[in-house]
Structure 1
Amino acid sequence: MYKITYVVALPDYRLHVVFADGSSGVVSLKDRLFGPVFEPLRDPAFFSLVSIDEFGVVCWPNGADLGFVRKVECANFPYVAAA
Structure 2
Amino acid sequence: MNDIFKALNDATRREILELLKEKDLSAGEIADAFNISKPSISHHLDILKRADLITSEKNGQFIIYSINTTIMEDVLQWILTFKK
Instruction: Please indicate, yes or no, whether the TM-score normalized by the shorter chain is above 0.5.
Output: no
TM interval, short-chain normalised: under 0.3
TM-score (norm 2): 0.25
Higher strand share: 1
Higher helix share: 2
TM-score (norm 1): 0.25
